[in-house]
A and B are shown apart, each in its own frame.
Chain A
Amino acid sequence: MRDPRVARLGELVVNYSLGLQPGKVLRIDAPPVSAPLAIEIYRAALAAGAHPYVDLQLERLPELLLAEANDEQLEYVSPIALAELEFVDAIVTIWSESNTRALTHADPERHQRLISASQQLAKRRWQRMSAGELSWLGVLFPTEAHAQDAQMSLAEYERFVFRACHVEEPGDPVAHWQGVREELRSRAEALAEARELRIVGPGTDLKVGVEGRRWQPADGRYNMPDGEVYTSPLETVTEGEISFAFPALFHGREVTGIQLRFEDGAVVETQATRGQEHLEAMLDMDDGARRLGEVAFGLNYEIDRFTQNTLFDEKIGGTMHVALGSAFTDLGGLNESALHWDLVCDLREDGEVYADGELVWQAGRFLETATPARV
């Protein structure tokens, strides 16, 4: 039986996010547990006159690879995967999992080598995306595992996900997201005036340089759901400390109570109540892993709670997040790393943000305008 919400999400992804044109090749990367959404996207792509195919990602393979592979196998990059990247016009990644903690006990050093090896593919993908040759979207199909992380029943979690994507009710989700695009675009233009941001909150007083960098409205073209504005900060300016109220998950491992202190743009001190070793291993991955590649405001007010999933958490209306690692070159960012780890900071109660000394954000809202109507 088809779930009309999943059908609407499939159409939204194809017609709004990707704007898929006839004759274009779409690859849908999806785990088997997300097959209902993969098939709706496939169907919508056929209706758009495109050539879709589904590449199912079996969830146990990374665990098998980490357990059984020798070094050469671990670092191998398939020439088929590289060749595919040259002819696909669009990729959808469905991030759903059946068990979000399957890799908790994997060897961190080997895991990090696996991630580094996959950089060859990730880099080429970013290159083609930056050149406008490839469009890409990340989306999630609700599963029991994600519902469990969110501490909800599957039915509740489905409503949460589909509301955040604006497909829960029949209507015109494309029109909604076009409205979001307009709102976020004007927000990004306003932020482009700032040279420096100072973020103040519980355990947080951080200065970030953003002069000359472009702010990007995240309006559902790369992620669904979406709703943030972000940029890549100056690499050597970040100074001060920041605390993350929400646990941070990265590749199936949880780190809680993270506090970071920055000097001249780099992390010089770390603390975590749990998962300190994993945090250190990630920061030691390469030179760029200690610097910020992203700073952003979460502006989707239909996402009102933490669910232990970055796709949603970083968009919670009233939060900010920064990412350790790779920057967005198209926004002027220079930092390079195999890491891109988003950490979310809740500013909804006591948070303040100053732009060049002037208070612009308080308790989770920009000051100069009323609550954006649509985000």
Chain B
Amino acid sequence: MSERLRRLADVLVGYSGRVQPGDLTVIQGTMNVEPLLEELYGAVLRAGGHPAMRCAPEVEALLLDEGSDQQIEWLNPAELEDIEQADVWIVVDAPANTKALTSVDPERQGRVQRARRGWRERYLERALAGELRWVLTGYPTNGAAQDAEMSLAEYEDFIFGAALLDDGDPVARWRAFADELQRVVEFLGSKEELRFVAEGTDLTFAVGGDRKWIAADGHENFPDGEVFTAPLDESAEGEITFTFPAVFSGRQVDDVHLRFHQGEVVEATASSGEDFLREMVALDEGARRVGELAFGLNEAVRVFTRNILFDEKIGGTMHLALGSAYSECGGTNRSALHWDMICDLRSGGEVYADGELVYRDGRFLL
């Protein structure tokens, strides 16, 4: 484990974050990921950077339970300093208990999301301007393994496998994978319209004009492996059934079915968690539109583990996100929400680009 953690830290610092001498590098995580935080600290030092540790206990449930509205909406200026001053920002996300927020009033969670919207926009803005390189990664905890219905040892193998770390030279593997993703981006870049067809799904998007496809190749998420864009705001038309549970902010919603008309959700149903789904869709103006459309292409991620970082990369799936769009794709939709939901296309799914079948059963027909 410790040898793998060291390799993970080296790839995160050297490949994902590209830490250069003198770079102020914020390392953020919770108490239960201490071993990886320590490895990252050492790796940043060896790269000549200045590590700044930002480690906290998991007090969000306590804050939401006992804090006033004013306290839960408070924005810590220290976090703003991190966003404004960091050259590199490495976030390790691995809660000890992924369901700790289940009984929190959705309205209060909505308040927190809205309050933090400005920060999210600010770090994306600095990232777009090339001033900040950020990367989000996971870590094997019992809580995450439990969600994935695996033992901790099995889950470690899963994570390090998805990160392509068990090879001699993980950085070379990631560079080769990045080239593959780039070819998909170039192919999709020439298309105007995509239509997704599967059981319970027939949904069409416009993706042409000033919109760009981007290869997610291990720089902002790690592990990684998807291509994504922002569809035209008013283009989503049709319906979609998400085959995997949709998980957001510690809440799970099952069998989500959405119907779109002129880009907006006009019907949202679920077999459980429907109230939370509706609360989030109504969060603000942009929350009912699609901010992101993507293909998961990491073939080392095969199974659903209830962690969006991994699930959205499952090879053979597509996902869309309700809410904010990435401006580097040319997206304009703004929202405090960004909720990724995943649809498995591996058995019977089809995608048509400008009327032509280009993808079937989870693979491009390139």
Contact = CB atoms under 8 A, between A and B. Distances in A.
Interface in B22-55: 24, 26, 31, 34, 37-38, 41-42, 45-46, 48, 50, 52-55
B77 interface: yes
Interface stretch (A38-46, A108-116, A219-227): A38-46
A73 B52 CA distance: 11
B38 A58 contact: yes
A354 interface: no
Nearest to B56: A54
Given A56-B31, A68-B42, A68-B45, A73 B50 contact: yes
Interface stretch (B60-68, B108-116, B231-239): B60-68
A79 B84 CA distance: 11
A60 B38 contact: yes
B1 interface: no
B59 interface: yes
Interface in A33-86: 35, 38-39, 42-43, 46-47, 49, 51, 53-58, 60-61, 64-65, 68-70, 73, 76, 78-81, 83-84
A332 interface: no
A179 interface: no
Contacts of A81: 52
Interface of B: 24, 26, 31, 34, 37-38, 41-42, 45-46, 48, 50, 52-57, 59, 62-63, 66-68, 71, 74, 76-78, 81-82, 85-86
Contacts of B67: 46
B71 A46 contact: yes
B81 A73 contact: no
Given A42-B62, A46-B63, A68-B45, A58 B55 contact: yes
Contact of A79 (B24, B31, B34): B24
Contact of A64 (B24, B26, B42): B42
A32 interface: yes
> Closest 3 CB pairs between A and B?
A56-B55, A68-B45, A80-B81
A259 to B, nearest CB: 40
Contact of B59 (A54, A73, A80): A54
Q: Interface residue tally of chain A, by bracket?
A: 20 to 34
Specify which of A42, A57, A58, A60 lies most central, judged by the most chain B CB atoms within 10 Å of its CB.
A58
A76 B74 CA distance: 30
Interface of A: 25, 27, 32, 35, 38-39, 42-43, 46-47, 49, 51, 53-58, 60-61, 64-65, 68-70, 73, 76, 78-81, 83-84, 87
Contacts of A51: 71, 74, 76
A68 B42 CA distance: 7
Contacts of B24: 78-80
A35 B31 contact: yes
Contact of B85 (A49, A55, A83): A83
A68 B82 CA distance: 23
A216 to B, nearest CB: 31
Nearest to A86: B77
A84 B76 CA distance: 10
Contacts of A87: 77-78
A87 B63 CA distance: 21
Nearest to A61: B41
B52 to A, nearest CB: 5
B300 to A, nearest CB: 30
Contacts of A79: 24, 81, 85
A26 to B, nearest CB: 11
Contacts of B76: 25, 51, 53
B49 to A, nearest CB: 8
A68 to B, nearest CB: 4
A76 B85 CA distance: 15
Contacts of A83: 77-78, 81, 85
Contact of B68 (A39, A49, A69, A84): A49
A359 B174 CA distance: 78
Contacts of A35: 31, 57
A53 B74 CA distance: 11
A150 to B, nearest CB: 26
B6 to A, nearest CB: 12
Nearest to B57: A35
A43 B48 contact: no
11 contacts: A38-B57, A39-B59, A46-B62, A49-B71, A53-B76, A55-B54, A56-B31, A57-B53, A61-B53, A64-B41, A79-B85
A46 B57 contact: no
Nearest to B49: A73
Nearest to B79: A53
Contacts of B31: 32, 35, 56
Given A32-B55, A79-B81, 10 more contacts: A32-B57, A39-B62, A46-B66, A47-B66, A53-B76, A58-B55, A69-B45, A73-B48, A79-B24, A80-B52
Contacts of B56: 53-56
Contacts of A60: 38
Nearest to A88: B78
Given A79-B24, A79-B85, A84-B78, A54 B57 contact: yes
A80 B82 contact: yes
Specify which of B41, B54, B55, B74 lies most central, judged by the most chain A CB atoms within 10 Å of its CB.
B55
Contacts of A46: 62-63, 66-67, 71
Contacts of B48: 70, 73
Specify which of B26, B53, B62, B81 lies most central, judged by the most chain A CB atoms within 10 Å of its CB.
B81
